[in-house]
Structure 1
Amino acid sequence: MPGSSKNKVKIFFLFALPSLVVVAISWFLGGNNGLIGSLIAVFLLSLIFYFLGARVLLRWYHSKKVQSTEYDEIRSILRNLADMAGVNEPDLYVFDSDLPLLFTVGTRKKNVSISSSAIEVFDSEELEVLLAREIGHIKNDAVSLNTIVALFAGIISAFSTLALWGALLGGFGQDYDPAPKLIRLIAMGIAAPPAALLVQLGTPREAESLADNVAMDMTKNPNALGAALSKVESFVDDLENVRLNPGHSHLFSVNPLKVRDIFNVHLSMFNTHLDLDTRKQNILSYSS
């Protein structure tokens, strides 16, 4: 599988580096007892983050697992694509969002989550090719790394949201007023660089192209993929009030973050996607 070994090494370092810092500080402050206690703590926390990270992200978006009697067409498409790719069929989830988005998370069992808007906006061919992209991430063994990166980067990025709510609760007005927006900008100025660095280093630049290629191999439908990606970008451009955690941007098929004013200029640091025109050209050239 492309990049499988590299992704496992990246996951190891994502856990190892902060753990070493915590262990070193604990040993410096508490001696051998602090060292042993911190080793046990970081080991247990690493297990929790690794095995429960996908569940945290699914709950982050209030994703609900699809039952056997729901969304028969989508489940059938997903099952057929998984069989075609030779991977285990992922569980299907649905979440509410005005943006037509899909994402896949999981370290053991993989889970594909699709927004209510995506179900309404895309026709069956577009849904198939977008689901094929998610299967592509599974086949390319990219999902575990994407999940851990999204969990860590999302937690760091959430610092700005906490700062905003702190400003609002402190009596600074509404979230569109200058004072809380400025506080959020300052908070993101602190949180964005490490979170964005994590996303950029943890997400291979070619990951989306590899998923596009798998979708082309399975569906032979470049026009549907290009049209679906264009629809997603159009919704991102038009909907100004939809907020997504920037640490999760790499999970989606198109960059869902837009820099609309100076107060969200930090969003540009999180983009791991090629521009859409380049991707569509690559899709057409790959399928020809």
Structure 2
Amino acid sequence: MASLKEIRTRISSVKTTRQVTSAMKMVSAAKLKKAQDAILQIRPYADKLHEILSSLGSSLENSEDSVYTQQRKPEKVLLVLVSSNRGLCGAFNSSIAKMAYDLAITKYPKQLQSENLDFLIIGKQGEKFLKLKRMPIAGQANDLLESLTFEQTSEVASRLMADFAEKRYDRIELVYNEFKNAAVQICTVEQFLPVEISEEDQDDNASFDFIYEPSKEEIVQELIPRSLKIQFFRALLDSNAAEQGARMTAMHKATDNATDLIKDLTLTFNKARQAAITNEILEVTNGAEALNG
């Protein structure tokens, strides 16, 4: 059994750890409120943009001006992995990084083998994982997560759109955590380019006869780039909110575990101290009996 001093030192250490995890939990809770408000505010706008885009589905397919809707054989593929710059958020980073890795080796093995598959990394934790797996990394934009604004994300989205338009890549997919609630994050793979309009969306909007002003072509030219930028920004906001929720949950569990450990150590300390006192009493009693004998 450990000595009383060792147990006392460990109790003090665990209490310090509990203070840290409790403080991190409160910080993450405050950040989660802000991040959750941001994603909930942008979702209706993003959904409405998608609805309008779907209503123009038949026009988009035949529009020569819509380079972003061109379906090409995916010979060159870019996967955009969104993780976080910091750890201590449970399985948030490992789950999404593993999904991106599995996606590369199962869905695009030919492109990976022929060196026609690249990763764009947003988040230092995902970058560490892929480097360990020796995956091809074309670039990183980790600074986006430090100050998440639409202006900065639009620049990255514009570069991705230019890469697709100039045929550097035939397909671009986003891999990120979608925020559901503070305890649940959904690992999501979403095609960014080319833009896809499902037949169901077209059928749902087929019954509506819209009058477009200006022309459909002009609307298409303006709408698709805007929709893509919003889609990219929404993915990052989702990931940010999911990260804060995952960290808050992880720190909450860590704090509870520290509390339970302190109780167990305190009980062990009391038992050890009681045993030590009992031994001292026995030694005194035995010594007294020896003197009397």
TM-score when scaled to structure 1? 0.24
Larger Rg: 2
User: 1 or 2, which has the higher strand percentage?
Assistant: 2
TM-score when scaled to structure 2? 0.23
Which one scores higher on RCO, CA 8 angstroms, separation ≥ 6?
Answer: 2
